[in-house]
Amino acid sequence: MANSKILLASSSVYRRQILQKLGLSFDWASPDIDESSQPEEKPAQLVHRLAETKARRLASTYPNHLIIGSDQVATIDNQIIGKPHTHANAVTQLRSFRDREVTFLTGLCLLNPSENRTQNSVESYKVRFRNLSDEQIENYLKREQPYDCAGSFKSEGLGICLFEKLEGNDPNTLIGLPLIALTQMLANEGLDPLNQPANFFQPSN
């Protein structure tokens, strides 16, 4: 197998933490791309394009790595919800989610640069919010401050208390890196985590 090294094309600490679950060592780097949507581009098309663009941006620098690109958007009524960045915006977002369903779409790409081969998928995960009071929203935001997260919450933390129901194939998709789909992609490249000896790869720090 020509490519046994892994590169995560992301600066997200959340994605690094998820990828560490597989027990594989990996490098990471920021692809530094324009993540703006194109005219009339649908959310699923956007995350598909950006995931592959992120992976390809680093291909010339890491030609002997398998490169993972991933991108996520939150949507409600098929409209993209961005990161709030401020407390006021987060309050507005969570108020608009009361007793409603939000869908998260995560684009995933595994690029083998040496073969110019890509595997792509778009995974969805649905979240039904509780009918939250203003006090509950304020208490949550002050405690967790999820201002860099699309949808204004961290499901791996206290954000789980915001929900009435979760629906999807892989809970990691909600955080931004679908591990079930990624594991199959890696296996297709001859790098199944369960086929490696215990000391073959170690989690990155």
One of 71, 77, 134, 192 is an active-site residue; which one? 71
79-108: pLDDT as tens digits: 898 889 999 999 999 999 999 999 999 999
Q: CATH for 5-195?
A: 3.90.950.10
Grade residue 1 by pLDDT with cuts at 50, 70 and 90. Answer: very low
Mean of pLDDT values over 161-188: 94
Grade residue 203 by pLDDT with cuts at 50, 70 and 90. Answer: very low
Question: What are the distances in angstroms from CA 202 to CA 21, 25, 166, 205?
Answer: 10, 5, 32, 9
Model pTM score: 0.87
Torsion-angle region of 166 (φ positive above 0: left; ψ -120 to 50: alpha; else: beta): beta
pLDDT of residue 156: 77
Grade residue 205 by pLDDT with cuts at 50, 70 and 90. Answer: very low
Q: How far apart are CA 79 and CA 76, in angstroms?
A: 5
Query: Is 71 known to be catalytic?
Result: yes
Grade residue 149 by pLDDT with cuts at 50, 70 and 90. Answer: confident
Tally of helices (H runs) and strands (E runs) in the chain: 6, 7
Higher pLDDT pick, 52 / 40: 52
**Sequence ranges of the domains in the chain:** 5-195
pLDDT of residue 204: 45
**Mean pLDDT of the chain, nearest integer:** 91
User: How far, rounded to the nearest angstrom, does the alpha carbon of residue 83 sit from its chain's CA centroid?
Assistant: 13
